[in-house]
Structure 1
């Protein structure tokens, strides 16, 4: 008669089976040493973060925890790239489950609380741990194959520490299966089938080493290797890239919940403060945490339009070079911070004076100016590193402390200071575009509060002849829909976005304060603008100057009017038109407006096709970050890269919702072979809406750009 199977309630196992007492003592001693070494390393990292300037990043804990759940626990951004994302998720979840399994053993054995038994033992500690261990091994195999087989260019190469990190984890996983398998086979464990992968490993080893004594010897030696490898890996955690297990979730929790890409506030009245970031001590603690959170995955670099066109910028290298600089000068930075806290300003300044300057030193000037501030890097980063504000901090130092910037950009900034707009050779004024339209200024109204919207035209709409057509189309559409609106006319000034993005905070603050004073003087509540850069300022960044308004993009307003039936449109006009929509960076990644422009195009009846990179993955046109005002001659043309992608869709019309994108795409299209012969045009979507407007008699009104035939 075969021996009866024990009851499920009796299911358990012996902890530390076949482990000599000396090995157990080694385990406890090495564990204490590993935890001490790890704690010291963590403290050294925290000390560096504390050397940064203060910044509030712990408000709204509910929103922050949700972000951690989605993007740390849920691996949200990582899974956007399938192969590495799935491999990382397998390893991440397995690490959590196996770590909990280790805690269960500690509670059961070291604390004497008998929880390792019954169904919990079978379902969790046998089956779940076995399956997750196998999944972790698969994930590690993928990482090895990708890093040393596929070798994608975005990964850091030749780092022995990366190899040892992966090898250590693989040793831990493989030895774990060996230990489990030998125990199951030698003891004849009746619950062996609940650990399928471990049991198969044990059967394979037993086939090679049939003698029980040999298996026991292998088990004991493997147990020692497994334990010491785990403790060594634990001790190395804060000194290696693996520390992103800690810094990643922390960085996600403390990530920006306010205006995306906004530079940190500056106290321009503090004469002792550095203008911009001269040294890393001018960064906030969160910016220093960013440096330690980097996983070196290279997703930011792969998404960067400047890097794609061979310009001297890699967002990854900016972060890593700053991180390496911090580590190389750690002692000096800590001494300087200690002196500052002690009130010893002389010692502090003496140390800081001998630290390398960041802008133009640690990070080359041409690297900083190559950034278009498109935020593709930030959108791709799985741990929410904020590259753009850090780059802008260093630009501030160049622009304000060293008074250095590209020549043509400096000329635009001079025009901004003297004429309140960056268009150097413009002969028009802010009223020319609407002189023959039924448009009123706020100053002309008896009661400015009666209007529904202030239309913020922006500098491009006022001074760029091509964009004036967009402004006129917006005005005509609002007028046809019966919207009560007005403009500031000559009272409108540049929002200051080009100044802020080029690092000149003085010019920006002057313009922002003047505009807020004007808007608040008229008690403006709601604003519509066709410029995403103006949208960013008016909706988000003006809040620090007392400007609190409801601001929408013209695509949102037009779609709302279409939904409400306030626009009579000849939808058949564009049914044969194939269009592709280019997402402007400051409309999409900065303001999350993706659907409204597409809904307008769909409402017009166009045949819409998407580019390979769209929505949050949209490729920059190259105009952001004040690049509209100077030509970056290094590398290739960002706008041509995007124009080629647009033309490849086969679209007749490339549609966008930004005046700068309009200009850059029109220029880019001219450099694409065959595009002009095919008659590919670039339009703002509101121009298509204007063309489809039907007059009261039912005829198509047509627009300035030539109507349907002109498309």
Structure 2
């Protein structure tokens, strides 16, 4: 028997159109949220942060993908780095499923999620899913139970962590229901390449196939709407640090550390030296302020890095509303 599985099992091809409509809407909301923030950044003075692109790309890859700065603080940095990498693997896995289901198979008749590659694909994604859940659990314990000094916790944090845990945990439930209905009796050997999914499948093994299909469909759509909500919420919550932290690394000042800007006190054209309003800042200064307000979502230092008190929040909110 071929080592593979039916994509969109129990959901049907008819779900593809509404699924993509909802997904596109979620991405539009995400893009709109970031555009509103970019509109605020543009109130600042221009500053060139696109010089030496090869070096900037290298910094981005090292800090974002390599999590080099995050892992320097133990143990929270390790938890965050492994969660980030595991979530990245799951994202790539989702893209591969979409690529086959919506492009290569219907247009070219090419199915690559089969045989040995599918077995490796299954076990890697299963382990990545498990690692993501474990790391998120440790991060939640640290934030909500241990509550280290300097780690601010807001309503955003409760929403974000709950949303992520629901997305991850529901994924295993969906996989377990599918395996229980399609592989436990017919192809149990293949189910072993999804070890965690197999454990969940054993929980549902006593259920009738009709019950499994109903539960699977409910959890599948629930999981999908949670994921769509996650995408739409990114720019409107601390989740935006996913992109703003990476952008900050890319737009970093490449000058030697310790260099500060100089002011020509003899320039008669300068009418003001201090910062009196938001337009006196550069766009990067405003961007850094926004990043500081979202950084507490994953802050791993014991001491606060930049003030994030109510005054700063009100100032940002007022600017955003302009």
Q: Structure 2: 5+ residue runs without aligned partners?
A: 106-110
Q: Is the 8 A contact 2:180 2:204 kept in 1?
A: no
Q: Is the 8 A contact 2:42 2:283 kept in 1?
A: yes
Match of 1:246 among 227, 243, 259: 243
**Residues 43, 73 of structure 1: alpha-carbon distance in 2 compared, 3 angstrom cutoff:** same
Aligned residue number for residue 269 of structure 2: 271
Deviation at 1:108?
0.6
Match of 2:149 among 153, 171, 174: 153
- Aligned partners of 1:316, 1:138: CA distance in 2, in Å? 30
Which SS does the other structure have where 2:44 is aligned? coil
Aligned residue number for residue 165 of structure 1: 160
Which SS does the other structure have where 2:112 is aligned? coil
Aligned residue number for residue 286 of structure 2: 288
**Residues 324, 104 of structure 1: alpha-carbon distance in 2 compared, 3 angstrom cutoff:** farther
2:199 is the counterpart of 1:200: yes
Aligned length: 309
- Aligned partners of 1:283, 1:218: CA distance in 2, in Å? 54
Deviations 1:80-130 (A, max 9, x none): 222211111121111211111111111111113433223322212x01111
2:108 is the counterpart of 1:123: no
Aligned residue number for residue 27 of structure 1: 19
Q: Is the 8 A contact 1:27 1:228 kept in 2?
A: no
Q: Which has the larger radius of gyration?
A: 1
Aligned residue number for residue 211 of structure 2: 214
Q: Is the 8 A contact 2:130 2:196 kept in 1?
A: yes
2:176 is the counterpart of 1:181: yes
Deviation at 1:56?
1.7
Choose between structure 1 and 2 for higher RCO, CA contacts under 8 A separated by at least 6 residues.
2
Which segments of structure 1 move beyond 4 Å, counting only runs of 4 or more? 20-25, 297-300, 318-321
Aligned residue number for residue 108 of structure 2: none
- Aligned partners of 1:63, 1:258: CA distance in 2, in Å? 12
- Aligned partners of 2:114, 2:271: CA distance in 1, in Å? 63
Match of 1:50 among 42, 57, 60: 42
Deviation at 1:276?
2.4
2:319 is the counterpart of 1:329: yes
Match of 1:137 among 108, 123, 133: 133
- Aligned partners of 1:82, 1:105: CA distance in 2, in Å? 35
Deviation at 1:318?
4.9
Deviation at 1:200?
1.1
2:306 is the counterpart of 1:316: yes
- Aligned partners of 2:99, 2:310: CA distance in 1, in Å? 40
- Aligned partners of 1:67, 1:148: CA distance in 2, in Å? 32
2:234 is the counterpart of 1:237: yes
Q: Is the 8 A contact 1:280 1:326 kept in 2?
A: no
Aligned residue number for residue 95 of structure 2: 103
Which SS does the other structure have where 2:104 is aligned? coil
- Aligned partners of 2:77, 2:313: CA distance in 1, in Å? 25
**Residues 267, 116 of structure 1: alpha-carbon distance in 2 compared, 3 angstrom cutoff:** farther
- Aligned partners of 2:171, 2:64: CA distance in 1, in Å? 26
Q: Is the 8 A contact 1:18 1:220 kept in 2?
A: yes
**Residues 270, 172 of structure 1: alpha-carbon distance in 2 compared, 3 angstrom cutoff:** farther
**Residues 244, 173 of structure 1: alpha-carbon distance in 2 compared, 3 angstrom cutoff:** same
1:348-387 maps to which residues of 2 (within 5 A)? none
- Aligned partners of 1:40, 1:103: CA distance in 2, in Å? 23
Match of 1:74 among 59, 62, 66: 66
Deviation at 1:235?
0.3
Deviations 1:352-398 (A, max 9, x none): xxxxxxxxxxxxxxxxxxxxxxxxxxxxxxxxxxxxxxxxxxxxxxx
- Aligned partners of 2:190, 2:282: CA distance in 1, in Å? 55
2:86 is the counterpart of 1:91: no
Which SS does the other structure have where 2:4 is aligned? coil
TM-score (norm 1): 0.41
Deviation at 1:262?
3.1
- Aligned partners of 1:22, 1:245: CA distance in 2, in Å? 33
Deviations 1:258-290 (A, max 9, x none): 132433344542535531221222111111221
**Residues 120, 265 of structure 1: alpha-carbon distance in 2 compared, 3 angstrom cutoff:** farther
Deviations 1:64-92 (A, max 9, x none): 22222222211112112222111111211
- Aligned partners of 1:90, 1:280: CA distance in 2, in Å? 38
Q: Is the 8 A contact 2:173 2:219 kept in 1?
A: yes
**Residues 299, 97 of structure 1: alpha-carbon distance in 2 compared, 3 angstrom cutoff:** closer
Which SS does the other structure have where 1:122 is aligned? helix
**Residues 56, 167 of structure 1: alpha-carbon distance in 2 compared, 3 angstrom cutoff:** same
Q: Is the 8 A contact 2:73 2:300 kept in 1?
A: no
Q: Is the 8 A contact 1:298 1:316 kept in 2?
A: no
- Aligned partners of 1:104, 1:217: CA distance in 2, in Å? 26
1:689-704 maps to which residues of 2 (within 5 A)? none
Give the structure with the higher percent helix.
2
1:321-470 maps to which residues of 2 (within 5 A)? 321-322=311-312, 324-332=314-322
RMSD: 2.2
Deviations 1:315-338 (A, max 9, x none): 432588535412223243xxxxxx
Which SS does the other structure have where 1:191 is aligned? helix
